[in-house]
Amino acid sequence: MRPSSKFVALAAIAMLTSLTACVDDESAPSGPSALITPPIMNTRPATFVCDNAGSVVVRPVGEDGKNITLATRRSDIKLRLVPADQGRKYSDGQTVFWINGPNARLLLEGQQEPEDCKQR
């Protein structure tokens, strides 16, 4: 490395070091940065194992949690958020998927009774 290159590298390091010293710890935001944990991380796909349907995957559509795609052995079903007393309930008018923590209930089109599901 040439002497002038070493000087430029040392000057850059000195500038960066002095900038980090100017951060006031009390004014820094608490919690994880949005750059580290983007909002989509809260809406990742989840797999549930249901009594009869077997493994189903819930894939959020968008970041607002109002729409999901429910992937079953037979097909992918697009569901939208509907009112629920507890948890989150999604339906397309024929298929219904209720999520309450690690537990869920699935009523596929044509079924008479909902089946229990557990998050894997």
User: How far is it, in rounded angstroms, from Cα 68 to Cα 97?
Assistant: 10
- The answer to whether residue 10 sits within a structural domain is no
Mean pLDDT of 87-97: 96
Tell me the residue range of the domain where 64 lies: 40-119
User: How far is it, in rounded angstroms, from Cα 105 to Cα 98?
Assistant: 5
120: closest CA among 74, 68, 57? 57
- The answer to whether residue 11 sits within a structural domain is no
Mean pLDDT of 81-88: 94
pLDDT at 3 (0 to 100) = 54
- The answer to whether residue 16 sits within a structural domain is no
pLDDT at 49 (0 to 100) = 97
Mean pLDDT of 17-44: 48
pLDDT at 33 (0 to 100) = 43
pLDDT band at 120 (very low <50, low <70, confident <90, very high): very high
pLDDT band at 34 (very low <50, low <70, confident <90, very high): very low
What's the number of domains the chain is made of? 1
Q: For the whole model, what pTM was predicted?
A: 0.64
